[in-house]
Amino acid sequence: MKIYLRSLIAILCLLSFLIHAHVKSQDLPAIPGGKKLSFNGTFTSDDKSKPGIFQSDNKLYRMIYTIGKVTDENKELLDVQFLQEDELLYEKDRLPGSDVSISNSGYTVVYDMQNTFKAEVLISVFSRTGDLVFRKNFKYASVFGFSENGNLFGAGTDKNLHIIDLTTLTKKSLTPCSKFSFSGSGSFLVTAHEDELNIYKNYRLLHTINTGLFYPRAVAIDEDKELLAIT
C-alpha cells in the first residue's frame, strides 16, 4: 500500500511538472495596448509608440503625449507638447496626473487619481503657457467642468459646488449637485440635485424648479434663447 501511494505521488508530481513546463513554454495571449500584468496584479505599459491627444471643445488647443507606466489607478503622461493650432506653446517631460481636460481658452486641468481609494482627486491647473495656476485636493468630488469661454472651472463634491475663476482665482461655493452647466457668457449657471434644478445668475439663486427626475444625465442653459434643458 505504501509503495502504491509513493508511486501515485511521484506520478502526480511528474504530471504537475510537465503541465507547468508546457504552460511556461506557450506564448500567453497579448494584453491590448502593449500592457503587461505585473506580479501584484497591476497593469504596466512600456509602449510609447502611439501618442495620445487631448483637445479643447473648440479644437483650438490640443495636447500630445505618450503613455508611460499604467496601473489600476493611474497612468503616466510623458513627453507632453501643448499646441494652439500648429504653434507649440510649451513642453513638459511629464504631467502630475493621469487624465486631462482643456478649456476653450487654453487652461489645462490635470487629474491625479492615485488616491481615489481615499475618495480624493488632486487637481492641477496650468495656463496656456504651462505655468501652474493652482493645485488643490478635492475630497468626494464627482463632477467637473468648464464654462464655454474656458475661464471658469467647476468641481462638485458631496458638500459644495466650487466655482473658480481661473483668470482671477476668485472662488464661489454653491449647494451640491450631480450635474451643472454654464451659459455661454458664464453669467448664468444651472445645477441639478436629485429632482431639483437651481438657476443662478452671477451666483445668486433665481429659481428652483421641481423636475421629478431624480437621476438627470445632463443639463444646459441658453441665456440668449432663454432655454433650459434637462435629460
- 3-class DSSP assignment, residue 15: helix
* Rounded Cα distance, 221 and 166, in Å: 21
The neighbouring-strand residues paired with 92 are 80
3-state DSSP assignment of residue 2: helix
Q: What is the DSSP string of 62-84?
A: EEEEEEEEE-SS-EEEEEEEEEE
Confidence of residue 36 (pLDDT cuts 50, 70, 90): low
Judged by average pLDDT, the poorest of 1-15, 40-54, 105-119, 175-189 is 1-15
160/190 Cα distance (integer angstroms): 14
Average pLDDT over residues 21-33: 44
pLDDT for position 21: 45
Give the domain ranges of the chain.
31-139, 142-231
Residue of 37, 52, 47 lying closest to 68 (CA atoms): 47
In the prediction, which pLDDT does 44 show?
52
Give residue 208's pLDDT band: very low, low, confident or very high (50, 70, 90): very high
DSSP state of 23: H
Tell me the pLDDT band of 50, cut-offs 50, 70 and 90.
low
Taking only the tens place, the pLDDT of each residue in 126-173 is: 999 999 999 999 999 999 999 999 999 999 999 999 999 999 999 999
Backbone angles phi and psi of 136, in degrees to 5 = -150, 145
pTM above 0.85, yes or no: no
